[in-house]
């Protein structure tokens, strides 16, 4: 029988890459005024993956602290959300399942719908826990945002993973009903199977995003959701951090409310701290915003948080969550700062080499240089198989 117990995010952990490229280095290469990046899109730097890391190594690194704290006995499902998939058939989560030593009595699946996939995974996980509150679900959202060199999207690149343990009686955030939903068939952003880098129509994507903000809120209100004034903060998907400000201004306009800059800053400012130095992490982006909010904001206990998840193409959802009493005792603030601060700074030439590198497709043995210092690495491609190592 379904349970009426609170369900939501019991634990949250993030990971990012070994390297970082400051936007100052990008501006120095292409002659762009640095204010276009620091102010125009609100970005300071972007995480860059090493040759021996990918969505699996990041996802495993994000999830490992959760397993260390809670064990595996109650985890019977892993949902891996990504739009940077490494295989058309096998879930990236199966590799993570192996690296983490999870029980064989586990279902593992990969979800895709652009940047919305992380929220889809969270909502599916909540449904499983409501069906059987004894179970917990490990949700992993992991992505590498990659665009062509010297393209308009290059400055918004990034990479990160967020792992969330979804459970009954959560220690961090109680996820509420209802949700506001919206889908529209638009070509604002896409990546055909034959391309490594995504294609994007920037103006169309902003327009589609704002349309999704308006329509998800309208549906949320029709479903009996909270009034706008009850929310203490909003976690938006952040393809670049200035988009969170644009989105919230549009929501306020939609609701006929004042768009005072200080009000917008109070609503979204804390949520941009990690994204502005990591870059776009696609499915993980909104939940990097949640991590930054909980790690930095004054006590959020019992204060509603709005979530707007947007995935190009497009699917979007607005829902609410509330930080539960005692949530601060379970945060991983120091570890999150360490994950960001440990990255080695790249010059533009080295970044370009990493960006252009790719595996041969001949099925031979192709080891990767050991560039990472984290707990997991992509060791090689051998006979068309990815080989991972646990340190």
**Residue 237 annotated as catalytic:** yes
Catalytic residue, chosen from 83, 110, 154, 317, is 83
Catalytic residue, chosen from 97, 237, 248, 270, is 237
Distance (Å, whole) CA 119 – CA 124: 8
Q: 307 near 178, Cβ under 8 Å? A: no
Residue 374, both tokens: 């984290």
Distance (Å, whole) CA 287 – CA 293: 9
DSSP label at 385? E
- Distant-in-sequence, close-in-space partners of 50: CB < 8 Å, separation ≥ 6: 17, 18, 19, 354, 371, 372
Catalytic residue, chosen from 115, 235, 248, 270, is 115
Q: 92 near 143, Cβ under 8 Å? A: no
Please, what is the end-to-end C-alpha distance for the chain in angstroms?
A: 42
Q: How many CB atoms lie within 10 A of CB 257?
A: 12
Closest CA to 77 of 110, 55, 54, 44: 110
Q: 8 near 321, Cβ under 8 Å? A: yes
Positions marked catalytic: 83, 115, 237
């Amino acid at each position: 029988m379904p349970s009426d117990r609170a369900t939501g995010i019991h634990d949250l952990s993030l990971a990012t890459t070994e390297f970082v490229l400051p936007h100052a280095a990008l501006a120095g290469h292409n002659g762009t005024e640095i204010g276009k990046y620091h102010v125009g899109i609100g970005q300071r730097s972007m995480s860059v993956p090493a040759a021996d890391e990918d969505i699996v190594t990041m996802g495993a690194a994000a999830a490992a602290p959760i397993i260390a704290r809670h064990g595996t006995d109650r985890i019977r499902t892993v949902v891996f959300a990504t739009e940077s998939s490494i295989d058309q058939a096998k879930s990236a989560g199966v590799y993570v399942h192996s690296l983490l030593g999870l029980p064989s009595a586990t279902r593992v699946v990969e979800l895709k719908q652009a940047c919305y996939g992380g929220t889809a995974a969270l909502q599916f996980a909540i449904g499983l826990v409501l069906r059987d509150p004894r179970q917990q679900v490990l949700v992993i959202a992991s992505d590498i945002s990659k665009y062509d060199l010297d393209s308009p999207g290059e400055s918004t690149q990034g990479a990160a993973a967020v792992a969330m343990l979804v459970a009954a009686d959560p220690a961090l955030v109680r996820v509420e009903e209802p949700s506001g939903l919206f889908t529209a068939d638009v070509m604002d952003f896409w990546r055909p199977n034959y391309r490594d880098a995504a294609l994007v129509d920037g103006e169309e994507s902003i327009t589609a995003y704002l349309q999704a903000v308006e329509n998800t809120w309208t549906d949320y209100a029709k479903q009996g959701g909270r009034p706008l004034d009850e929310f203490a903060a909003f976690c938006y998907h952040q393809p670049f951090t200035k988009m969170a400000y644009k989105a919230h201004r549009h929501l306020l306009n939609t609701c006929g409310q004042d768009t005072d800059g200080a009000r917008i800053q109070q609503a979204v400012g804390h949520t941009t701290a990690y994204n502005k130095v990591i870059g776009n992490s696609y499915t993980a982006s909104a939940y990097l915003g949640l991590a930054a909010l909980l790690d930095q904001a004054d006590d959020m206990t019992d204060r509603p948080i709005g979530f707007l998840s947007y995935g190009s193409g497009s699917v979007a959802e607005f829902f609410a969550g509330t930080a539960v009493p005692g949530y601060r005792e379970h945060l991983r603030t120091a570890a999150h700062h360490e994950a960001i601060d440990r990255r080695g700074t790249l010059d533009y030439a080295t970044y370009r080499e990493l960006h252009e590198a790719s595996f041969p497709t001949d099925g031979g043995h192709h080891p990767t240089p050991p560039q990472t210092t984290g707990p997991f690495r992509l060791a090689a491609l051998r006979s068309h198989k990815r080989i991972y190592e646990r340190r």
